[in-house]
Amino acid sequence: MAVYAQSAPHWHHQKDNVIRASFINVESGKTFNQGSATLDVNGRQFRENMTHGYAHFRFLGGDNTARLTFNEGEKNISSDFSVPPATTTIFTIPEVDLRRDEEERKRNVIPIWEGEDTIEVIPGSGEISRGLSNRVYFITKRKGVPTPMTFRVLSHEGNADKIPETITSNAFGLASIAIRPVTSLRFELQSEGEHTGKGKINLFAIATQFAFELQEPFVRYGQRIQARVESVRQSGTILVDAYQQDRWVSAEVFGLDKKGSHFNIKAAAQGQLMQVQVYNNFYRVGSSWSSQWVAIGEKNEESCSVFRKLSAHLKDVPETQWSTQVAEKDIFQTATHRQCENLLSALLASIPISFVNSTTILNSREHDLKTLNSWKEDKKSMLLWITALLFGGGFCVLLWLVLNGVKKQRTFDSLLQEDEEAMMPKDRFETLLITLRVVIILSALATFIASILMVMSFM
């Protein structure tokens, strides 16, 4: 049995931290879906039942050493580990984690627009989930300023469930479409009206396996983040993580069915932003993940206030500068709650995103293998010394027998014998006896050394 656990690379003092653990049957390679796990940290003990093969612990950071124990019937395993403390970090926007293949990357040519009217695509990477429902936002601009207008689709490449004929933005220059792509898409658009603009946009269909839609783009501190997950998989489990900066603040696991799954996790963070990500592989993620930003509001704060504060917070991020222009418009003062929610959803989708990899803090199987290999190396070294000693000892014994035989032979030759012929059989018998001794000793020595070498070959 082995224990495998992940957490953030550092634990934050007196703040929520998270550990996700699984316990593995080394012989079969399968995880234990039943049983319970116990975490001893900061002088406190937390016990969690295994859910879909995982146990999750949320605790306040203090001491950075802990013990994790798993129990199922008579089976149990305990492992100690430690995590370094965190330092003060400054919020930074991550680089976009592009997942499209090399051929799709070659197509990522920055569109050249003709005229005053342009369209900005959100998300900026242009990546959407293949075969799943996606919400794509557009900011229509005139001379770089968000402006309401209509763009007509002149032509398109690729397949989707529904191709729009026009894209019409609201009073804030925001438009959106729901689309389920089969392949990557390319649209050629032209604005309608006195001012014209013409250009192309790319949408890249990526095999992410998951897409999820938040029930609301923001939550107030202490509330739970609720969302619906859609997946190409019809069974299995999904892992849900929530991060604030480099701090892992919440984690859950949920089951999947043919209709997807719903999840809700606690918004255990204060501040303005939290990143929520969905995936299913505990050990290797690849491109099979989906992630979104969630805004954290204060108690009784409304969506318009959250949008205004967040746009000011992100004013230096190139991908979100359109939101600052919208928030400064006079018309924003009369925006409805629903309009602000849509603007906030588009703003959150504008922020570059990448998958946050947790850190392996405990892998007892790997530790046991290292310990076993170290033991093997020690035993190999010991056996090599034994082999060398046997070779040396055998050589000494053989040398002694030869020298002793020579000495006896000389003694025999120097003695006066009454009947030389009568002594010959005895001489032959003694020579034969010495030779037999040498053969027996060398055979035993060779057999023992061969057995040692055979043992070493299996280590």
| Helix (H), strand (E) at residue 79 | strand 75-82
Report the 10 Å Cβ neighbour count for 302. 12
Domain boundaries, the chain: 1-85, 89-207+302-357, 213-289, 373-457
Question: Which one, of 48, 50, 41, 45, lies nearest residue 83 by Cα?
Answer: 41
Alpha-carbon gap, residue 277 to 268, rounded angstroms: 15
Contacts of 259 (CB under 8 A, 6+ apart): none
DSSP 123: S
What are the structure tokens assigned to 170, written together? 């609201």
Alpha-carbon gap, residue 255 to 194, rounded angstroms: 53
Output the tens digit of pLDDT for each of the chain's 459 residues: 788 889 988 888 888 889 999 888 777 778 888 899 999 988 889 999 999 889 999 888 877 888 999 888 777 888 888 888 877 666 677 777 777 766 665 555 556 788 899 999 999 888 999 999 999 999 999 999 999 999 999 998 888 888 889 999 999 999 999 999 999 999 999 999 877 899 999 899 998 888 998 988 988 877 888 999 988 887 888 899 999 888 888 899 988 877 667 888 877 666 788 999 999 887 777 778 899 999 988 888 899 999 999 999 999 999 999 999 999 999 899 999 999 999 999 999 999 988 888 888 888 765 555 554 665 666 667 767 776 776 677 667 766 766 676 666 666 666 645 555 444 455 556 667 667 776 777 777 677 677 666 665 655
The pLDDT value recorded for residue 325 is 94
- What is the residue-wise DSSP string for 45-78? EEEEE-BTTBEEEEEEB--SEEEEEEEETTEEEE
Alpha-carbon gap, residue 304 to 336, rounded angstroms: 8
286 Rama class: left (phi>0) / alpha (psi -120 to 50) / beta: left
The pLDDT value recorded for residue 346 is 96
How much is the pTM?
0.77
Q: Taking a C-beta distance cutoff of 8 angstroms, is the pair 297, 215 a contact?
A: no
Alpha-carbon gap, residue 398 to 375, rounded angstroms: 34
- Topology match between the domains 89-207+302-357 and 213-289: yes
The pLDDT value recorded for residue 404 is 73
- What is the residue-wise DSSP string for 147-210? ---EEEEEEEES-BS---SEEE--TTSEEEEEE-BSS-EEEEEEE-SSS-EEEEEEEEEE--SE
DSSP 275: E
- Of the candidate CATH numbers 2.30.40.10, 2.60.40.10, 2.60.120.560, 3.40.50.10470, the domain formed by 89-207+302-357 belongs to 2.60.40.10
CATH H superfamily, domain 1-85: Immunoglobulins (2.60.40.10)
| Helix (H), strand (E) at residue 342 | helix 337-350
What are the structure tokens assigned to 237, written together? 């489990």
- Of the candidate CATH numbers 3.40.390, 3.30.360, 2.60.40, 3.40.1580, the domain formed by 213-289 belongs to 2.60.40
Q: Taking a C-beta distance cutoff of 8 angstroms, is the pair 209, 280 a contact?
A: yes
